[in-house]
Amino acid sequence: MSDVDEEIYSLALSRKDGVDNDTIEEKMPHLPAEALANAINRLLRVGKIELVQIGTLTLYKGVSMAELELTSKMNEEDRLIYKLIENSGNEGIWVRTLKLKSNLPQTIVNRSLKQLEAQDIIKSVKSVKHPTRKLYMLSTVSPSADITGGPWFTDQEMDTDFIDQLAKQCHHLIYAYSYPRHNPAMVYPVSHMGYPTASQIKRFISDNRVSTVELTTENIEELLTMLIYDGKIERIAPALDVDRGLRAGAGKPDWMYRALRIADKDSPLTDIPCGRCPVASRCSGSGAITPAKCSYLAKWLAF
Amino acid sequence: MKYLDIESLRALNLSLSFPTSSGDRHVLGRLEAYSCKAAGADKKLFRYLENKYLEDVEEAKDLSPEQSSLTNTVSPFGPLTQAASRKVLFYLIATLNASFPDYDFSSLSADQFTKEPSPDYCTKSISTTLLNVGCPARLRASRMWDCIDDVINIDECDVYSYTPDAESDPYEDEGPVWSFNYFFFNRHLKRIVFFTCRCISNLDELENASDQELVFGDLHDEPVETEHYPTSRYDLREMTIGGGLRL
């Protein structure tokens, strides 16, 4: 391989997603356009780089020597299937999608998959969202959290006990900070900023080793969202108190969470007889039916 | 499970794709016969299922006796502690795997299947469903149940049905209006006839059409093709429905 080819090849390898024409021209300004085109063609023919199209952008991706060796031993169909599986990254690709994209008949696809699997190049994975679909990915790739379900799933089954327990812990922590300790019947004023944030909760959980697996802030936020929908907590405007070391406006807002107390007494507003009045729609300031002459109100007010 | 290519069933399958009398849906069904003879991948599947069962039994030892007896023994195939019942579960899972090659049903548990009260009950239920939805004269004339009876001897069969939850449904991405999956299992003949059917709405095609197309469409007076019925949802895209809207 000539020097020019070498340079372009290493450039392509250095970028994970490949290089485009502009970048190559930038890095190698002395190279005439024709020589560049020839070099690209040579590399493409040998298989050292491959063409990738993202939208209107054309990129040249470097193919590592190891991968080249691997794919050179495969026949056309296997190589196509391998490339499709590789492109699916850590999400995996469904057999049906494979068939559609490759346009190959079922028997050939199955044969290729069996061969690739036997050579331990690909592996089959199961997704928690579609447990019956056959997904494949490269053996070296770790399935994404989307597929495995993250910390909430063990072996494709939702670990409800774990989730419940952890949620309860979070709720207790939030509740402890939500109402004044010396008098639990009181509430904090509107300006109170001492409610816990997701990152504080995460620190509490990890410090006290409540869970055996590591949880990210996103995981904690998922739990808190679940508690919000359960009506147990609410999300309040982000903390802006820089002194307390809380992030303010740096990327994602740092929401605070406050526990809700289930009201056990009806609100006084529901006691007003107008709610149960059969002629409420005809009631107005003047006329036959007015609050001034209302018998229900009179009875209610005579307490 | 070895697929048995039977002429009469092949002919029936052609009739089992038809538009409903309401015109806005299509029924797509198929009948497949399988022999319970173990093919290549089956042995692996059987071993996998047996191992899974043994693991469950091990785990159950840690649970209270009351809990474990509920989860492990009750099944539509008989007590799971009996190998024969587990064998039936294996046959059904293998049939599903053979019929839906893009899917792998080995994670299914016995409680996603139900045992139907009698073969007669099922044949009547299926016939009623198909008739209500407007099955064409061709299907009615084809004496479907007689053909199936020749293959599997319906009266001797145990009939099971598969009622999947949304995530395990092989028809999930088509969003069917209804679907059914029946297994006619004849123990003596060691055969299963798998009758699967779904009704999908043509209206799904409209989601992709713009409002312009919906209102004005492309009004031709084209003759409706009555002989060619789509065999899959992808074929529906090519069809002109009633000579009106081309979607």
Q: CA–CA separation, B87 vs B75, rounded Å?
A: 12
Interface confidence (ipTM) of the complex? 0.70
- Whether chain A has a CB inside 8 Å of the CB on B121: the answer is no
Residue B87 has pLDDT above 60, yes or no: yes
A-chain residues near B169 (CB < 8 A): 132
Confidence of residue B242 (pLDDT cuts 50, 70, 90): very low
Q: Are B168 and A131 an interchain contact pair (Cβ–Cβ within 8 Å)?
A: yes
Is A96 close to B107, i.e. CB distance below 8 A?
A: no
Taking an 8 Å cut-off on Cβ atoms, the answer to whether A132 and B104 are in contact is yes
Domains defined for chain B, CATH in brackets: 2-201 (3.40.1000.50), 204-243 (no CATH)
Average pLDDT over residues A1-28: 77
The answer to whether the CB atoms of B104 and A134 lie below 8 A apart is yes
* Whether B168 and A134 lie within 8 Å, measured CB to CB: no
Q: Encode pLDDT of B172-217 as tens digits.
A: 888 888 999 999 999 999 999 999 999 998 875 555 445 555 555 5
Q: CB distance from B103 to chain A under 8 Å?
A: yes
Nearest Cα of chain B lies from the Cα of A96 at a distance, in angstroms, of: 6
Q: What does the mean pLDDT of chain B come to?
A: 81
B216: phi then psi, degrees, rounded to nearest 5: -95, -30
The encoded tokens of residue A228 equal 């919000």
A156 contacts on B by Cβ (under 8 Å): 107
Instruction: Please state the rounded mean pLDDT for residues A231-238.
Output: 82
Residue B139, SS3 per DSSP: helix
Nearest CB partner across the interface for A95, out of B102, B108, B170 = B102
For A130-149, the pLDDT digits (tens) are: 888 899 998 888 888 888 88
Which of A181-185, A199-203, B118-122 is most confident? Answer: B118-122
% of residues, chain B, pLDDT over 90: 28
B211 Cβ under 8 Å from any chain A Cβ: no
pLDDT band for A20, please (50, 70, 90 cuts). confident
- pLDDT of A202 reads 86
- B107 vs A94, A126, A129: nearest CB: A126
As a whole number, mean pLDDT of residues B143-157 equals 90
Using CA coordinates, name the residue in chain B closest to A124: B104
Give the integer Cα–Cα distance in Å for A293 and A277. 14
Of A124, A129, A132, which has the smallest distance from its Cβ to B107's Cβ?
Answer: A132
Contact state of A96 with B102 under an 8 Å Cβ cutoff: yes
Confidence of residue A200 (pLDDT cuts 50, 70, 90): confident
A184-188, A257-261, B168-172: which has the minimum mean pLDDT?
A: A184-188
A169, burial (CB in 10 Å: exposed 0-12, middle 13-18, buried 19+): middle
Interface contact B55, partner A, CB < 8 A: no
Q: And the tokens for A192?
A: 């109170």
Name the more confident of B207 and A269.
Answer: A269
Interface contact flag, B107 A95, Cβ < 8 Å: no
Q: Is B102 on the interface with A (CB under 8 A)?
A: yes
Q: What is the mean pLDDT of residues B99-106?
A: 90
Check residues B8 and B229 and name the one with the higher pLDDT.
Answer: B8
How far apart (Å, rounded) are the C-alpha atoms in residues A240 and A245? 9
Q: Is the pLDDT of residue A91 over 50?
A: yes
CA–CA distance, B12 with B86 (Å, rounded to integer): 31
Say whether B167 and A96 touch across the interface (CB within 8 A).
no
Token output for A202: 């995460």
Q: Does B167 touch chain A (CB under 8 A)?
A: yes
Closest B-chain CA to A99: B102
Domains and CATH numbers, chain A: 3-63 (1.10.10.10), 74-143 (1.10.10.10), 152-301 (no CATH)
From CA B146, how far away is CA B8, in angstroms rounded? Answer: 10
Q: Is the pLDDT of residue A249 over 90?
A: no
Question: What pLDDT shows up at residue A72?
Answer: 77
Q: What is the per-residue pLDDT for B247?
A: 44
* Rounded alpha-carbon distances, angstroms, from residue A157 to A150, A152, A160: 11, 8, 9
Residue B112 touches chain A, beta carbons under 8 Å = no
Tell me which of A241 and A265 has the higher pLDDT.
A265
Q: Give the model's confidence band at A180: pLDDT under 50 very low, under 70 low, under 90 confident, else very high.
A: confident
Q: What is the rounded CA–CA span in Å between residue B240 and residue B247? A: 7
Predicted confidence band of residue B241 (pLDDT cuts 50, 70, 90): very low
Per-residue CA distances from B186 to A130, A204, B183, B191 (Å): 31, 60, 9, 5
Question: Among A107, A132, A161, which would you mutate to test the B interface (most chain B Cβ atoms within 10 Å of its Cβ)?
Answer: A132
Contact A130 B167 (CB under 8 A): yes
Res. A18: pLDDT tops 80? no
Three state DSSP letters for A245-292:
CCCCCCCCCCCEEEECCCCCCCCHHHHCHHHHCCCHHHCCCCCCCCHH
CB proximity list for B42: less than 8 A, separation 6 or greater? B1, B94
pTM over 0.80, yes/no: no
pLDDT of B246 above 50: no
Give how far B102 is from chain A: nearest CA, Å: 6
Tell me what pLDDT residue A240 has.
57
Mean pLDDT of B69-80: 72
In this prediction, residue B71 carries a pLDDT of 56
Note whether B102 contacts A133, CB cutoff 8 Å: yes
Chain A hits for B168, CB-CB cut-off 8 Å, are 130-132
- The residue that leads in pLDDT, A24 or B18, is B18
What pLDDT is stored for residue B67 in this prediction? 60
Neighbours of B173 (CB within 10 A): 12
Of A106, A129, A156, nearest to B107 by CB-CB distance is A156
Tokens of A36: 């560049």
pLDDT of residue A247: 47
Rounded-to-integer distance, Cα B18 and Cα B15, Å: 7
Query: Cβ contact (<8 Å) for B167 and A110?
Result: no
- Looking at the predicted structure, is the pLDDT value of residue A40 above 60? yes
* Three-class secondary structure of residue A115 per DSSP: helix
User: What pLDDT was estimated at residue B204?
Assistant: 59
The pLDDT value recorded for residue B222 is 52
Chain B CB contacts of A132 under 8 Å are 103-105, 107-108, 164, 167-170
Distance from CA of B100 to the nearest CA of A (A): 10
Looking at residue A262, its pLDDT comes to 72
**Beta A157-158 vs B178-186: how paired, if at all?**
unpaired
